[in-house]
Structure 1
């Protein structure tokens, strides 16, 4: 007796069905992959655009409003463009001194002096910074170095005179003031301070001469007028 196989249960028939099913699934898989990729791209695009909006709205650079801010930005930009620009560090230190941050000024001036050890500006400003920090000995040291670099600049001698005067070292103050006037004889304040030092050392005739010189360069100088009257 011959047994006839059911064609639907034959291996050949099943293989044909499987192949047909796979062919039907392939387009669906391609569509799913494309759709997933599109969604990911869209989400990335939304993220990037959102980040740009947040940066523009919340993270804008600060607006420069004051003259001090402009000066800070100018010198910091100069240093960024050329880290070997000693004068840029001196300029930045000057701004820090202006806003009463002598500690920061010292750091910038030390950088300047590493680049240019014979910079008069850096030495002078460093002396001013040390004085502002309440370190008169360090300030004197820097003003002395500045005066050695440029003996024709009266300001370092003048600052030395002031510091010696404050210490009541009248002999040293007299020498510093005289050197100041040797460079620039028209400074009325220096004549007045020199007169005070002469008074303190009992040189009243010399003190009188200096008060008169102060009044010669400034018509209205109440302190010098008062000191002169007391000597007459």
Structure 2
């Protein structure tokens, strides 16, 4: 194929809505970790969603330069669509997949096959270019794009929410889209540690739960919001319902365990997280949550016993180091590891982890605030270095983002300024 024809083909590919045109940057994620998460989801989540996971897996294989394996994942996606589709709009669900096929063939220098799949995409688009059929196509594309961003990494949660919002403008009552939107907003609230609109997800989760009464994951997320709002009884009722409905789902159990941890039922949380770890042994979030549980036990009144305190420290270090090992791009896991080293008074390791984490490119402003804030507290109370602590409290405030950390850094500085 001549350069002119190849350039013409590339121009066509760039117009398609698919993983290759959604600005999914490999440098933002630990690709192996995302693959592990997707494989867990394929094992435990409903068949109707699996074609999307195979599509994303194909793109991840592309990022690793393994185009043969990318093709295998796309073939799995195609088979899954064929098995699970019961509507006349099956071709709509193939649009993103066919576009991905075209891109993979292009990268394999199989330009004729790439051209064939590009034509397949354009044929479907032409069939659905007029209202109201156009909405059917847009809903599927917005939905897949939203779920893809939600599966990639925290940096993309805002984009995920925006995709679901666009789709909901077309169909406000779609259960799956409401579910995706609620989850995206919920994750943004937890991810950014911001006091801004911190309960925006509550009504979204309520609505999504009404539209998806069988979705137990939504139920436990709503329970966590009730706990945040100090409505323990309502949260507990939803937790009990979810456990009755899906007692072996690792996703349900993980959020139930998080409910226990936040409610200071730490021993119950640890037991349940370990059950989840048995089901998903390479899950970074589970190791991360276990590390948080053990960190909370360090120097608690019931753990003043030296042996118990040493065990809590050792476990907190083990689980936080494992979380970082499993997902090297997780800023949250790195911050937790630094904080655990601080708790253990491992000064050199804490300093190394602090410095390393501060250089990570995918940090949110609130995460940088969190890191400086806890480093300042450590310097002030464990290292007795008030001047250095003040410098880091000021660093928190310099970062222009309203959060719990900026509010409390100001309070710490005001307290230090008092004679």
TM-score where L is the length of structure 1: 0.56
Deviation of the 1:121 alpha carbon: 2.2
In structure 2, the residue matched to 1:211 is 354
- The structure-2 alpha-carbon separation of the partners of 1:149 and 1:212, relative to structure 1 and needing over 3 Å to count, comes to same
- In structure 2, the residue matched to 1:222 is 372
Query: Aligned partners of 1:111 and 1:73: how far apart in 2?
Result: 17
Is contact 1:127–1:142 with CA below 8 Å preserved after alignment?
Answer: yes
Secondary structure of the 1:186 match is coil
* Gapped regions of structure 2 (runs ≥ 5): 1-199, 299-311, 386-419
Matching residue within 163, 181, 189 for 2:293: 163
Q: Give the CA RMSD over aligned residues.
A: 3.4
Q: CA deviation at 1:160?
A: 1.4
CA drift at 1:200: 4.7
Q: 1:125 maps to what in 2?
A: 255
Following superposition, the deviation at residue 106 of structure 1 comes to: 2.8
Report how many residues are paired.
Answer: 163
Partner of 1:152: 282
Aligned pair in 2 of structure 1 residues 96, 223: CA closer, same or farther (>3 Å)? closer
Counterparts of 1:44-63 in structure 2, within 5 Å, are: none
CA-CA distance at 1:77 after TM superposition: 4.5
Is the alpha carbon distance of 1:133 and 1:103 closer, same or farther for their aligned partners in structure 2, counting shifts above 3 Å? farther
Moved more, 162-171 or 186-195: 186-195
Q: What is aligned with 1:63?
A: none
Q: TM-score normalized by structure 2?
A: 0.33
| Larger relative contact order (Cα-Cα within 8 Å, sequence gap ≥ 6) | 2
Q: Larger Rg: 1 or 2?
A: 1
* 1:78 is aligned to 2:219: no
Query: Quick one: structure 1 residues 90 and 191, their matched pair in 2 at CA, closer, same or farther if it must change by over 3 Å?
Result: closer
Q: Structure 1 unaligned runs (5+)?
A: 1-65
Q: How does 1:166-177 map to 2 (within 5 A)?
A: 166-168=296-298, 169-177=312-320
Assess if the C-alpha contact under 8 Å between 1:130 and 1:139 holds in 2: yes
What secondary structure is seen at the aligned counterpart in 2 of 1:107?
A: helix
Distance 1:200 1:123, change over 3 A: same
Specify whether residues 70 and 185 from structure 1 end up closer, same or farther in structure 2 by C-alpha distance, changes over 3 A only.
Answer: closer
